[in-house]
Structures are given as C-alpha cells and as structure tokens.
C-alpha cells in the first residue's frame, strides 16, 4: 500500500496488442503525469493485457483533465477499458456477517487504523449477535433473519440496502449463507468471500475437527470473488500455515481463524487499491 496520499491510480485492460504499454506511458508523459509505479501483465492464455499505474499529476487537476481528454480516443483504438481512481476516493463497503466475529473484528480494526481506505456505511447479518461490535464502531447494523422460506424476501431486502447505501463492494466476512444465483449474479465482480482451505477438503460441520482427525499438516484460507459456484469464484488471495501433531482441534480453529482474517483483509485491500484484474475465471493480482 502506497504511503503517498497524492497518487492517482490508473487501471486498464484490453486485448493483447503491440503498443499497449506505450500508449499509456506516452499519454501520461505528454500530459505531465509522473509515473510513480507501474505493473503490467500480458496473459497468453486469454490474450488479454492488464496494467496498473500509480501516478502524480505534476500540473495538478489540469494534468488529469488533459490526460483524460487525449487518452479516451487513444484507448478506444486498443479496445481498452480504463479507470482513473482519485487519491481521495474511498469505496463504500457493505460487510455481511453471521455469528463468527474474527473477520469482522479484524476488518474494523484495520479500518479504524486507516489501513483500509474505505467507508463502511452498514453491516448486515442474519443474526443479532454482532450488533454490539458494530455499535461500538458507530456503524448501522441491520438484522435480516433468514429461513429457507423467507430467503427470496431476505435477499431482496439485503440487495435494496446495498443499493440504498451506494456500496461498491460487498464483503462476506464469514456470512454463513449461500447466495442465490440471482444475488450472486448481481454482485458479480464486486463481492468477496472467505473460507477455509484444507487438504484434503472437508465440507460440512466442524471442518477443522475433521482435519485434526486426518492429521493434516497445513491449514489455510482462500479469499475469492463470489459467483454461482459455491466457494469456486476467482481467487484473489490465499494464506497457509504449517501445523503438526501437537495442534489439537481448538488450535487448528485458532490458527485457521487468524489466517482467514489476514487473507480476507489482504483481498479487500487489493480490491480497493485496484490491484485485481479478472481474466475469465482467474485473476491477475499486482501485489504491493
């Protein structure tokens, strides 16, 4: 994460073609925008190009306006989709939770410290348990109970809240509900989920206890974008840690929750800092 608060972030993606890096850097140089850092990647598998640039406008707002004026036409010639993020832009993020508090608590701590440059206008849960934590941070908490019979109505209310609060991103911080295909489609590319990653895979209740029964030697977590395939969306970040015979089920749970929290926070930061590019069902992620 950059420590320079005056940097703009340019991101762009297009089909692989000769001159993609040149058209970006030349346009920036001609309009007096200094390139502070740059990452690019050409994906042979999908024949697509991605670039991320941190830049400082030497001529202030005028440099930005001049760049946008000339780059729009040049980018169109490359079928390039691009976006320019201002230094003061803070995406509005809705957090969904159930009863587990470790991921929510970690996100709120990092948010409070200023490590995550975002705003959290609301927290939504299907249980009332974590309302005191939201209240302590002064964030509105919406309790939307759900049953199989009320799921369509509950998701309609949830979606309305996301829209009413102009949220750009939704974070499922251990929200223990499977989203319907309709809601998953609406949140495509703008919702991040976290779940445990254990080898072999353990589904159902108490996965860490199942893992202990099998004597696993690694515990981990995966943060990914939500889609209609349960826990199989495009992966953003993963974390892993070694364990051994001395770790009992409660130890595995504690280690796993730590990794889940860290992995989710990293994925959220990468997203809001515009470091993640979707290439079909895969991601290109430019780390800091």
Identify the structural domains of the chain with CATH numbers, from first to last.
8-85 (3.30.70.260), 92-285 (3.40.50.170)
Q: What is the pLDDT of residues 224-245, one digit of tens each?
A: 999 877 668 899 999 999 999 9
The model's pLDDT over 139-178, given as tens digits with 9 standing for 90+, comes to 999 999 999 999 999 999 999 999 999 999 999 999 999 9
At 287, the pLDDT band (50, 70, 90 cuts) reads confident
Model pLDDT, residue 4: 57
- Place 1 in a pLDDT band, splitting at 50, 70 and 90: very low
Which whole number is the average pLDDT over 75-87?
A: 97
Query: What's the whole-model pTM score?
Result: 0.93
pLDDT band at 211 (very low <50, low <70, confident <90, very high): confident
Determine the angle formed by the axes of helices 207-214 and 249-272, rounding to 10 degrees. 120
pLDDT recorded at residue 206:
86
Q: What percent of the chain has pLDDT over 90?
A: 84
Work out the average pLDDT over 71-90: 97
pLDDT at 89 over 90: yes
Query: For residue 230, what pLDDT is reported?
Result: 66
Residue 203 has pLDDT above 80, yes or no: no
Is it the case that residue 71 has pLDDT exceeding 80? yes
pLDDT bracket for residue 133 (50, 70, 90): very high
Catalytic residue numbers? 231
pLDDT averaged over every residue in the chain: 94
pLDDT, residue 280, reads 78
Task: Check pLDDT > 60 for residue 3.
Answer: no
pLDDT, residue 205, reads: 79
């Amino acid at each position: 994460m950059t420590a320079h608060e005056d940097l703009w972030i340019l991101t762009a993606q297009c089909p692989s073609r000769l001159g993609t890096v040149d058209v970006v850097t030349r346009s920036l140089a001609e309009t007096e925008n200094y390139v502070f850092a740059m990452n690019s990647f050409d994906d042979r598998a999908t024949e697509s190009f991605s670039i991320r640039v941190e830049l400082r406008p030497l001529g202030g707002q005028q440099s930005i306006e001049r760049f946008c004026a000339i780059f729009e036409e040049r980018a169109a010639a490359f079928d390039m989709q691009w976006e320019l993020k201002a230094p003061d832009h803070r995406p509005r993020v809705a957090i969904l939770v159930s009863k587990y508090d470790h991921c929510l608590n970690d996100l709120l701590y990092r948010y409070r410290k200023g490590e995550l440059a975002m705003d959290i206008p609301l927290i939504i849960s299907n249980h009332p348990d974590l309302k005191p934590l939201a209240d302590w941070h002064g964030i509105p908490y919406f309790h939307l109970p759900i049953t199989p019979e009320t799921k369509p109505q509950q998701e309609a209310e949830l979606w309305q809240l996301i829209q009413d609060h102009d949220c750009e991103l939704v974070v499922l911080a251990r929200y223990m509900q499977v989203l319907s295909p309709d809601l998953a489609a609406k949140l495509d590319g703008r919702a991040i989920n976290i779940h445990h990653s254990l080898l072999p895979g353990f589904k159902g209740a108490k996965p860490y206890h199942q893992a202990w029964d099998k004597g696993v030697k690694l515990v981990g977590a995966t943060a990914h974008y939500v889609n209609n395939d349960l826990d199989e969306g495009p992966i953003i970040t993963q974390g892993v840690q070694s364990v051994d015979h001395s770790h009992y089920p409660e130890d595995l749970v504690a280690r796993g929750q730590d990794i889940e929290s860290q992995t989710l926070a990293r994925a959220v930061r990468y997203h809001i800092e515009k470091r993640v590019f979707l290439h079909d069902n895969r991601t290109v992620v430019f780390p800091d």
